[in-house]
Each structure stands twice: as structure tokens, then as C-alpha cells.
């Protein structure tokens, strides 16, 4: 059983397809954003691109804040 101060990674990580579904946008769009460097920060885990839910939420809040200006 993990300790309270240990990070829990299982539910925090999302695949490219899960991230696209979460953002309600096509997978190709998320890939394109990554290519341009304007999307949420992800990282490679083996051959797959993985996103942390907290990072996607942070990116969404940042986009919302800049859109409201």
C-alpha cells in the first residue's frame, strides 16, 4: 500500500487517445499541437506519448486565462 507522501501515477497518466477524449478533440489535433509545441506537456514512455492529467488541466486553465484577456 502506498504511503500518503508517495506519488500515485496510475490514475494520473493518460495516453494520447485518452487526452484527446478528455479535451474532446481529435487525436490528430493533439498530435499536431505536440508537434508545434503548443499543446499540453507530455513525455515519451517507450514508444507512447503520455500526459499527466494535472498538466493537461494546468494547460487548459492557462488557455482559458489567455483567451479571456
- For residue 22, which of 49, 61, 57 has the smallest C-alpha distance? 57
In angstroms, the CA 38 to CA 30 distance is 9
Domains in the chain, please, with CATH?
Answer: 13-67 (1.10.10)
User: pLDDT of 36-68, one tens digit each?
Assistant: 999 999 999 999 999 999 999 999 999 988 877
Q: What is the pTM of this model?
A: 0.79
| Strands in the chain per DSSP E | 13-15, 42-45, 48-52
The answer, yes or no, to whether residue 6 has pLDDT greater than 90, is: no
**Quick check: helix, strand or coil at residue 25?**
coil
Amino acid at each position: 500500500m502506498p504511503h500518503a507522501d508517495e506519488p500515485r501515477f496510475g490514475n494520473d497518466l493518460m495516453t494520447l487517445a485518452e487526452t484527446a477524449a478528455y479535451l474532446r478533440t481529435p487525436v490528430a489535433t493533439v498530435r499536431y499541437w505536440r508537434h508545434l509545441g503548443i499543446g499540453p506537456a507530455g513525455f515519451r514512455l517507450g514508444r507512447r506519448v503520455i500526459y499527466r492529467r494535472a498538466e493537461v488541466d494546468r494547460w487548459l486553465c492557462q488557455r482559458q486565462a489567455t483567451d479571456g484577456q
